[in-house]
Amino acid sequence: MINEIKITKRKKRNQAIAFWIFRLLSYSIVAILFIILSFIVYKGASVINWGFITKMPEEGMTKGGIYPAIIGTLCLVAGSMVFAFPVGVLAAIYMNEYVKDGIIKKIIKQMTNNLAGIPSIVFGLFGMSLFVNKLHFGDSILAGSLTLGLLALPVVIRTTEEALKAVDNTFRQASLGLGASKWQTTSKVVLPIAFPNIITGLILSIGRVSGETAPILFTVAAYFLPKLPTSIFDQAMALPYHLYVISTSGTNIEESRPIAYGTALVLIIIVLIANLLANGLRKYFGKKVKMN
Amino acid sequence: MLSSSITSLTVVLIVVFLFKEGIGLFNQKPVEPGYVIAINKNNKVKELSSVQLKNIYDQKITHWSEVGGTHDSIVLFQLEDISNYYSDEQIGDNMQNLGSCMSRLVDSLPNIIAFFPDKYLDKKFQGTLLEVDKVTLHDFFAGKEWIPTAKPSAQLGVLPLILGTLWVSLGAILLALPLGLAAAVYMSEIANERVRRIMKPLIELLAGIPSVVYGFFGLVIIVPLIQKTFDLPVGETGLAGSIVLGIMALPTIITISEDAMRNTPRAMKEASLALGASRWQTIYKVIIPYSISGISAGAILGIGRAIGETMAVLMVTGNAAVIPHSILAPVRTIPATIAAELGETSNGGLHYKALFALGCILFLITLFINLTVEFISNRQKHNKH
């Protein structure tokens, strides 16, 4: 009897120790995140002001703002989404609503997974050899957007598929039962219900695309341009590339540090907004659907 | 229909473009185009490998006997050395006589090896032009040096790059796995729903931070920290890369292993608890063994992320292309090499193709990792039925 109590006590003690270790390690991950964020916010906040985001860089990147880099990133995000969003959503609709389970679906799925696993620098190589050299787009917003679009494609396809799968089958059956065609069912019933989740995916992929550096290194990014891009065949500056060059290979690394902190903060803010927006939308629409 | 096949099409196109350029490397000679390597006509040596050439010009090989010739010492010649042999008047104002000077020079020195542009090759040139082997698979994979701009012969050994990549990624996973697993266990089995709901988006945020920001953070915080702690001349080391990559691999490991653990059937957990096991015993005797394939999938995928990561590594590892001997030495990874060097290459040249060949290696490694993960998770599904 006494022995059993001892064993139980030891078991409890072991469990308590183990749980505390796990809790501590988990909190340390959160701590890492907060260290990174607070460090960049602390250093970058004093740099960011209206002038910083609306002025051109001055004096060899040591003064002035990052306006052209912001504009460049906006162009690239818009360009890549114009390509990836419709293509990705259509692909997901086709996969989820039209193709029957079988070998073809399996292959397409496998290929999408493979595409998602390819390192971003390989996308950069590919974009350079196909868009820049083979198709003669040159270093341009077009080449960069297409490269980034391909990179974002698996994300868009996956989130859209998840969204479509989440639509209850009874909706489809009801619509088909009322005599609607397959396409009518998809476009009038399934898509509107899945729409909020699809948008969430779109926002997340915007967050991802805006921070990618490796794919744009050789397809669009420029160290410094005195003018804003005027067409899709122009080169552009971009926020992540800007942060990379001024923190590693600029001529005045020390003097341009404040600018680097500011740029990093702007990037973090973009990602933060994308994440918050996506989470907010998910919650908001989640509740709305339940209420119905 | 068309849009759904676009991913497949893209993968195929990537393979075609990457491998077309990459394999083209093995049709090229490592000597700069437009240049010749000439020796005296009485010299018996007919062929030199790229490594031998480099060693000759680095003066590690100093006698012809070491490459199959006579016992004489080698006389090195590059175009810059011409003024040691001929005066400016002899060469002519516009180098118009350089060709004949070269002929005479190679003729008169029996032990010379000369590296010069082929436009200075005279019609009456009497020496032997050396054949240099094409780049071979063996040179490429077993070569210990990566100096693509070396003259007269580029050294394209990827061994240091492959080892560097694995070295940094292995370090990353060793750091990330215990942390990530602990967090996954905590989130799926220990924490209450409220804590979980807070932690989940935070982990997602960690995954969302751009790699260049991680690199920047590593550069301004981790690199100086390592330099001070270990009293090193530079802080850009493999260890810095491993730490940054470890942080970046955390979200992948956590999300996938947490999913796997949550999929443990309720009946199994409850049976264990009903038999008198504590929650902790249930975790390490039932849940972890049950979800081990999911956990390993997460770990492998984490390694895959680390291997392919470019910007963060490029910024913190110091990029020295040498075979790593310690975690406190600078290393260079495959993606970082591509990112750092592609900008300097000429389109279609040897160096350009070599970088595409590196891209092929990277592609194959990550493809292998993806397929392995796929295989593991398929087997897991299979086991459940």
- How far, in whole angstroms, is CA A133 from its chain's centroid? 27
Nearest residue to A32 via CA among B217, B192, B184: B217
Q: According to the model, what pLDDT value does residue A292 have?
A: 43
pLDDT of B113 strictly over 50: yes
Q: Is the separation of the CB atoms in B143 and B155 below 8 Å?
A: yes
- Cross-chain residue pair A117–B14, CB shorter than 8 Å: no
Mean pLDDT lowest for which of A120-134, A222-236, A269-283, B174-188? A222-236
Residue A230's CATH number: 1.10.3720.10
State whether residue A146 sits within 8 Å of chain B by CB.
no
Task: Work out the minimum CA distance from B270 to partner chain A, whole angstroms.
Answer: 17
Co-location of A31 and A57 in the same domain: no
Co-location of A129 and A250 in the same domain: yes
From the list A94, A110, A126, the residue facing B14 with the nearest CB is A126
d(CA B62, CA B69): 11
State whether residue A128 sits within 8 Å of chain B by CB.
yes
Tokens of B282: 């249930």
d(CA B313, CA B247): 12
Residues 235-294 of B with CB under 8 A from A: 247, 250, 254, 278-281, 283
Co-location of A35 and A98 in the same domain: no
- Cross-chain residue pair B209–A207, CB shorter than 8 Å: no
User: What's the mean per-residue pLDDT of chain B?
Assistant: 84
- Cross-chain residue pair B343–A12, CB shorter than 8 Å: no
- Cross-chain residue pair A217–B342, CB shorter than 8 Å: yes
Task: Work out the minimum CA distance from B384 to partner chain A, whole angstroms.
Answer: 20
Q: Which residue has the higher pLDDT, B6 or B314?
A: B314
Chain B residue at shortest CA distance from A270 = B209
Chain B residue at shortest CA distance from A85 = B3
Residues 97-136 of B with CB under 8 A from A: none
When computed from its CA atoms, the radius of gyration of chain A, rounded to whole angstroms, is 24
Interface A-B, measured as beta-carbon pairs within 8 A, has a size of: 226
What architecture is the B35-133 domain classified under in CATH? Answer: 3-Layer(aba) Sandwich (3.40)
DSSP state of A224: -
Co-location of A188 and A96 in the same domain: yes
Residues 342-381 of B with CB under 8 A from A: 342-343, 347, 355-356, 359, 362-363, 366-367, 369-370, 374
- Cross-chain residue pair A15–B3, CB shorter than 8 Å: no
Co-location of A217 and A279 in the same domain: yes
* Percentage of residues of chain B with pLDDT beyond 90: 23
DSSP state of B343: G
Specify the pTM. 0.87
| Each residue's pLDDT tens digit, A14-56 | 888 888 999 999 999 999 999 999 999 998 888 888 878 888 8
Burial B306-323 (b: 16+ CB within 10 A, else e): bbbbbbbbbbbbbbbbeb
* For range A261-288, the mean pLDDT: 84
**Amino acid code (one letter) for A175:** S
Characterize the bridge pairing of strands B155-156 and B146-147: antiparallel
Q: According to the model, what pLDDT value does residue A289 have?
A: 53
Nearest residue to B235 via CA among B221, B249, B215: B221
Nearest residue to A209 via CA among A79, A16, A18: A79
Contacts of A207 in chain B (CB under 8 A): 208
pLDDT of B384 strictly over 60: no
Co-location of A201 and A237 in the same domain: yes
Q: According to the model, what pLDDT value does residue A291 have?
A: 45
Task: Work out the minimum CA distance from B382 to partner chain A, whole angstroms.
Answer: 16
* Helix residue spans in B92-237 (DSSP H): 98-108, 137-142, 159-185, 193-208, 211-217, 223-230
Mean pLDDT lowest for which of A219-233, B76-90, B177-191, B341-355? B76-90
Q: Which residue has the higher pLDDT, B72 or A241?
A: A241
Co-location of A23 and A106 in the same domain: no
Q: According to the model, what pLDDT value does residue A101 have?
A: 79
Task: Work out the minimum CA distance from B223 to partner chain A, whole angstroms.
Answer: 13
State whether residue B199 sits within 8 Å of chain A by CB.
yes
From the list B21, B221, B339, the residue facing A129 with the nearest CB is B21
Q: Where are the domains of chain B?
A: 35-133, 159-384
- Cross-chain residue pair B4–A11, CB shorter than 8 Å: no
Domain count, chain A: 2
Residue A163: domain span = 51-291
Co-location of A147 and A280 in the same domain: yes
Q: Give the CATH fold of the B159-384 domain.
A: MetI-like fold (1.10.3720)
Highest mean predicted confidence (pLDDT) among B8-12, B255-259, B376-380: B255-259
Write the CA distances from B154 to B40, B51, B59, B352, B385, integer angstroms. 23, 9, 16, 12, 56
State whether residue B19 sits within 8 Å of chain A by CB.
no
| Each residue's pLDDT tens digit, B19-49 | 888 888 887 777 777 777 888 777 777 777 7
What long-range pairs does A34-39 form, CB within 8 A, spacing at least 24? A36/B209, A36/B213, A36/B214, A36/B217, A36/B247, A37/A268, A39/B217, A39/B221
d(CA A88, CA A46): 40
State whether residue B141 sits within 8 Å of chain A by CB.
no
Q: Which residue has the higher pLDDT, B90 or A144?
A: A144
Q: According to the model, what pLDDT value does residue B50 have?
A: 75
